[in-house]
Amino acid sequence: MHRRLRLRFFLITWGLLVLLLTALIAGVGVFLYRSEVNDAEDALQTVLSSFHEYGSKPDFAEVNREMAAIRMSETGEPFEVSLHRMLLSDEEVRRISAIAAARTDQAMGRISTGEREYRYLYSKKPNEIHLVIADREAEIDLLQDLKGYFVLYGILGMVLLLGVSVLLTRWATKPIAEAWEKQNDFVSDATHELKTPLAVIGANTEAVLANPDASVASQAR
């Protein structure tokens, strides 16, 4: 019985530790990914603010990522493009501008051109739209790395926690095992001690029953 109890305790302990490890790894992953997204959004906001401030050219001095600033008409036709560490063909610029201009209810989001993905932020001005985009390659690479780390450290952690759970189970169930052994020893000793008197009682009972017609006095012994 104590073996089943030990197995149940082990499974519960290991399961809880694995859930805790999973939550910890997932929390770290979400934090790192969210930090990368926040950095990208802050960079977009910084460039867009400078775009408004200086009016002519956006300021990329404070950002360290691939970005582009596009000035386009309300219909989505680009007429001025500023690139920062990013290579974009005229066709890609037109496609990105058209997609952003069509999203009148979403001033911030993601754009996919089929080949690459970008984060964007735009602001409408009289007779034109200011659009800033940032490449999501670093963000996507980080997400892929986090998935790989999640699997790797998850497997290593489960193996490690397997050993920890075994040790915890042995430590926690040791008093139960000792109590179970003492109970078995008591039952064994009691059974052994009762064998002799029970055997005598049984023999005497058989002797009495063997002479049903005898008197009580003759059976006194």
pLDDT tens for each residue of 46-71: 888 887 654 567 887 778 888 888 88
User: Rounded CA gap, 134 and 67, in Å?
Assistant: 4
What's the whole-model pTM score? 0.65
* Cα 17 to the center of its chain, rounded Å: 12
Q: What is the pLDDT of residue 53?
A: 55
- The rounded distance, in Å, linking the Cα atoms of 81 and 69 is 6
pLDDT of 92 reads 87
User: How confident is residue 2, by pLDDT bands cut at 50, 70 and 90?
Assistant: low
